[in-house]
């Protein structure tokens, strides 16, 4: 493969990893504190919208970055190791070369946000269900009426959200039902828990991007 193609793959993978890290970190550092300052009747619709929109972009970008780093790891294999890989020899020979190990480490960091996201789902689900309990919408943005509602699981997954690049509708302003002080405190706590776990995902992608960059420059 040409040096130009390798360079393009490096730029795309590193940029995607760091972009995901920045986007996820923004939620924990800026969005969540703002939402925690609001009553639950206002914060719940906004976090539901952020969950749905983020699910379209961040996992896909992190997976793309991880896949790119895996490709770079294979391309960085020394000739002997590449022959061993093609022949199905032991993994220790495949991992010969520091660049290969570096790119694989970067890929692992990006892929690791998947299991971390799985650990976060109970908290996410609790927030989505509380939004529905307050009468918040769970349908596709901009779509109201009979047959428009979705399950909490589909809402978190972004199912039915449409194309995030063409659907510019914003989150619901507030839920029809008001929230009590106790509910506000409970939601504030759930948002804080989400922010901490979400920061782990940001750190993983940041480490992946930095490791990938250092490996490319080595």
Contact 126, 190 (CB under 8 A): yes
Q: How many residues does the chain have?
A: 218
Contact 66, 111 (CB under 8 A): yes
pTM exceeds 0.85: no
Segment 172-214, tens digit of pLDDT:
778 877 778 888 899 999 999 999 999 999 999 999 999 999 9
pLDDT of residue 191: 96
pLDDT of residue 119: 92
Does residue 214 or residue 1 have the better pLDDT?
214
pLDDT of residue 84: 58
Does residue 159 or residue 31 have the better pLDDT?
31
Which of 60, 56, 63 is closest to 108 using CA atoms? Answer: 63
Domain boundaries, the chain: 3-217
pLDDT of residue 123: 92
Which of 159, 170, 161 is closest to 140 using CA atoms? Answer: 161
Residue 139 in this model has a pLDDT that exceeds 60: no
DSSP letters for the chain: --HHHHHHHHHHHHHHHHHHHHHHHHIIIIIHHHHHTS-HHHHHHHHHHHHHHHHHHHHHHHHHHHHHHHHHHHHTS-HHHHHHHHTT--HHHHT-SHHHHHHHHHHHHHHTHHHHHHHHHHHHHHHHHHHHHTT---S-TT--STT----HHHHHHTTT---TTT------SS-SS---HHHHHHHHHHHHHHHHHHHHHHHHHHHHHHHHHHHHH-
Which residues lie closer than 8 Å to 199 by C-beta, 6 or more apart? 24, 25, 28, 29
Segment 29-87, tens digit of pLDDT:
999 999 999 998 889 888 988 887 777 788 889 999 999 999 999 888 877 655 555 55
How far apart CA 40 and CA 126 sit, in angstroms, is: 13
pLDDT of residue 89: 56
Segment 91-135, tens digit of pLDDT:
665 566 688 889 999 999 999 999 999 999 899 989 988 888 887
Residue 141 in this model has a pLDDT that exceeds 50: no
């Amino acid at each position: 493969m040409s040096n130009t193609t390798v360079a393009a793959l490096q730029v795309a993978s590193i940029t995607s990893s760091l972009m995901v890290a920045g986007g996820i970190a923004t939620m924990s550092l800026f969005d969540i504190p703002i939402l925690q300052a609001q009553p639950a009747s206002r914060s719940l619709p906004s976090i539901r919208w952020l969950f749905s929109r983020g699910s379209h972009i961040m996992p896909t970008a992190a997976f793309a970055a991880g896949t790119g780093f895996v490709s770079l790891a294979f391309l960085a294999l020394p000739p002997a190791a590449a022959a061993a890989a093609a022949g199905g020899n032991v993994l220790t020979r495949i991992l010969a070369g520091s660049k290969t190990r570096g790119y694989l480490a970067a890929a692992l960091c990006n892929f690791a946000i998947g299991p971390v996201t799985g650990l976060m789902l109970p908290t996410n689900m609790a927030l989505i269900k509380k939004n529905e309990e307050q009468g918040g919408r769970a349908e596709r943005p901009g779509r109201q009426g009979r047959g428009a509602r979705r399950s909490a699981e589909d809402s978190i997954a972004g199912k039915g959200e449409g194309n995030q690049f063409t659907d510019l509708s914003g989150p619901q302003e507030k839920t029809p039902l008001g929230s009590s002080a106790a509910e506000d405190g409970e939601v504030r706590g759930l948002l804080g828990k989400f922010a901490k776990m979400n920061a782990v995902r940001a750190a993983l992608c940041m480490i992946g991007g930095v490791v990938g960059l250092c490996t490319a420059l080595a």
